Each structure stands twice: as structure tokens, then as C-alpha cells.
Amino acid sequence: MKKYFLIALFAMVSLLLASCGKEKDDVTPKYAVAFDLQGKGTAIDTVYLEDGSLIVKPEIPVDEYYVFDGWYKEMACVTPWDFETDKVLGNTTLYAKWETKEHCVVIFKSNLTTIASTKDTVDYGSLVERPADLESDDYYFDGWYKNSKCTEKWDFENDRVLEKTTRIYAKWSTKYNLYGSEIYSRSTFKYGRFVARMKMGYTQGSVSSMFIYYNNSDVAGSNLWNEIDIEIVGKDSLKFQSNIITGNRNAKITSEERHSLSPAAAFNTDYHEFTIDWTPDSIVWYVDGVIMRCTKTNEAGTDQVTALTGVQSLRFNLWASEVEEWVGVLKPSNLPISQYIDYVKVYSYDTETKEFSTEPLWVDDFDSFNVDRWGKGDWPIGMVRLKPANVEVKDGNLVLNLTRELIPR
């Protein structure tokens, strides 16, 4: 009996030790963050932060003979510490940079590419005069702030200039709600020829497209993303982008390419016939009957053609993206714009004969809107909300609109 008691006691002790060890392993390490004032100003206490944390910017240090000019990563003060993006990854020392007390420069950052920033020069420790409110066709001006994220307001009656270079940031809020448009085929397809004669919409920030899409590819939990694109994006009206997307929501594989007509012409000033041929062996893009791109199976790299296993709907949309490096910067004052679709033709593909049908499965000339054939999008995408009312049939065209609506104040 005593033997069994000792065994049980040993097991309990082992379990407790294991639990304590596990608890210790789960503790996130903390690192010391020291502020080296380099012999000037009033000392600032060291803080201890978890791995990956941002550092809260301390109060501006003050010295009788020198003006503070920022926190840096090295003693020589070459690389400034960015309190909004730089994270603590180990024990860290920030070094204060100082300049002889003279005049200080105040930069009023507009935070908009369309409005120039301005400068002022003031004495160290003085108040700064509030500049005139800024004006924009696209945004409401909401005041001046101490940081670029505009979370702490600058108080012109009490805040004094205590840095050699002081930046004060303009805050903006949008004047407009933005609305895009999309139609999608109620039927789905696996392989086929898809033809549309269109005049595309275009402005900086916009996306005007025709695409084939495996429904709900973008939904969380979906294990399949299949998409074939034609897009005219706001950075260049003289080119269209072809793209295949495969993989899944968390690991998309893309193969974007840009193409232009010869001679060069804008896709938003005249009609062109766009075609996508999708077969088990290749994806081919045409404009006005000319091949612009052909992607085949077993080419170098990821075989995206073979990865297109889902049945897809045919879609057209016009919207605005927030990804400025892709589409440029949207100016709502440039809206509305429209995409015009003259006709759509869909052909079947026979996997045995490897031929497209000579006659289309159906043709839509858009003398009216066929609710049995098409649905209208009503969900958010990018910077817009899709609005069914932005889809209309007009003069024998299906018209997709990208519009704005003023937010009153």
C-alpha cells in the first residue's frame, strides 16, 4: 500500500512540475527599453515591454541649452525610431538627438498628395500660429494633429514647439459615400468562350472588369480560389491587365500581366471586343480578335490552368480599390464614371473534340435586363458598396456606374 502511495505522490509532483514548467514557457518575454539622453535633458525611466510591442512616445525632453530633435536607433543618430511602426524585438536603447537652441522648423503636413505641405519658423518653446483650414474637393478637413495617425490633437493655445523639427498633421474625413456596380451570371461554367464588346470605365483608383469567378472564393474558410480576369485599372487607361488567381483565400497565387493595343489606344474612349477562351489546356485572352496572352498547362512555374477546377460564373464590375500602388489615388470629385457593355456571347467547349461550339449558348444584346440570366451585386468591395441601382440598361447597353453621394455636415 505504501508503495502505491509513493508512486501516486511521485506522479502528482511530476505533474505539478510539468505544469509549472509549461506556465513558465508560456510567459511572453519582456525587454528593457532605455532612453539615452546623451548627457542632456531630464532622465526618462526605462520601460519593459513584451516582444513585438510598439513603444509609447515619451514626453519631449527639455534642456536649458539644446533643443530635442528626435529619437534614434544608434548613438550617432542616423536612423530615426518610428513609434508608429518600429517594434521591440529585444533589449533596446533609443538615443536622443540634440541641436543648439536656435529657430525651430514647423512643418504642416497636408496628408494629401494633392495639397502641398507648408513650413513655418518659430522660436524654441514658443506657440505656433494656427494656419488657415485646408480645403479639398474630396474630403472634409478635421483639424491639426501631433501624429500622422491623427489621434492626438495639437492645441494651438497651449502646445509649444520643443523639437528642432516639429510636424503637425492634417486630419481628413471623406465627403462622399462611394457606390460601384456588378452583374453576375446565374448559371456557372467549366470551360468555354466568353465574349463581350465593351467601353471600359476609367479614372485614377478605379477597376473596370470582365472576369470568370468561382463563387465565394473570397469567403473565409473557402479552400478554393479560381478566377480569370480582364481589368482596366486606374494607373493606365492604355493597358489592360490579364490575371489568373488560384490557391485559396489565405494563399492566393496570381499571374498578372499588362497589355496594350497597337497602335496604343485608351480602353475607355472606344468599344473593343474582349474574349477569354478557357479550356483544360490553356487560357487565351483576345482583344478585337488579336491574341494578347496565352497561358498553357505545364508551363514553367505553378500550373494555374490545371488548378482551375471550379465551375465559375461570368461577371462584370466597376469599383474603386484602396490599393494605391495598383490603381492610383481616387478623387471622388472625378465621379461618376461608367462602363458600357454592348453585348455578351457565351460558347460551350467540348472536352472530347476540343472545340468550341460554332453557335453561342446564348447572346445578350441588353435590350432589357434579363433577371433570369443576371444578378446584381449588393456587397462591399474595396472602397465602395455595390449598389443594384447603379446597374442600368440604356440605349442597348448594359451600363455599370461608379458614383458618389455627399455625406452632409
Query: Which CATH number does the domain 30-100 belong to among 1.10.287.3510, 3.30.300.30, 2.40.30.30, 2.60.40.4270?
Result: 2.60.40.4270
What pLDDT does residue 9 have?
44
Residues designated catalytic: 227, 231
CATH fold for domain 177-406: Jelly Rolls (2.60.120)
Residue with cell 478623387: 331
Whether pLDDT at 18 is above 90: no
Confidence band of 26 (pLDDT split at 50, 70, 90): low
| Lowest-pLDDT range of 37-46, 66-75, 219-228, 298-307 | 298-307
Whether pLDDT at 25 is above 60: no
How far is the C-alpha of 273 from the C-alpha of 290, rounded, in Å? 10
Bridge partners, residue 346, by sequence: 194, 362
Task: Find the largest Cα–Cα distance for the chain.
Answer: 97
Whether pLDDT at 20 is above 50: no
Looking at the chain, the domain(s) classified CATH 2.60.120.200 span: 177-406
What pLDDT does residue 102 have?
78
What pLDDT does residue 6 have?
43
Amino acid at 354: K
| Lowest-pLDDT range of 8-17, 232-241, 267-276, 339-348 | 8-17
Whether pLDDT at 300 is above 80: no
Whether pLDDT at 326 is above 70: yes
Q: pLDDT above 70 covers what percent of the chain?
A: 93
pLDDT in tens, 198-228: 999 999 999 999 999 999 898 877 889 999 9
Q: What is the mean pLDDT of the chain?
A: 91
Q: Identify the CA nearest to 180 among candidates 322, 373, 368.
A: 322
Length of the chain: 409
Whether pLDDT at 110 is above 60: yes
Bridge partners, residue 296, by sequence: 282
Whether pLDDT at 307 is above 90: yes
Query: Which CATH number does the domain 103-174 belong to among 3.40.640.10, 3.10.580.10, 2.60.40.4270, 2.60.40.10?
Result: 2.60.40.4270
Looking at the chain, the domain(s) classified CATH 2.60.40.4270 span: 30-100, 103-174
Whether pLDDT at 184 is above 50: yes
Q: Identify the CA nearest to 234 among candidates 138, 324, 333.
A: 324
pTM for the complete prediction? 0.74
Confidence band of 3 (pLDDT split at 50, 70, 90): very low
What pLDDT does residue 19 have?
46
How far is the C-alpha of 172 from the C-alpha of 18, rounded, in Å? 54
Pairing between β-strand 384-386 and β-strand 380-381 as defined by DSSP bridges: antiparallel
Q: Is 351 exposed, middle or buried (0-12, 13-18, 19+ CB in 10 A)?
A: exposed
CA 66 to chain centre: 42
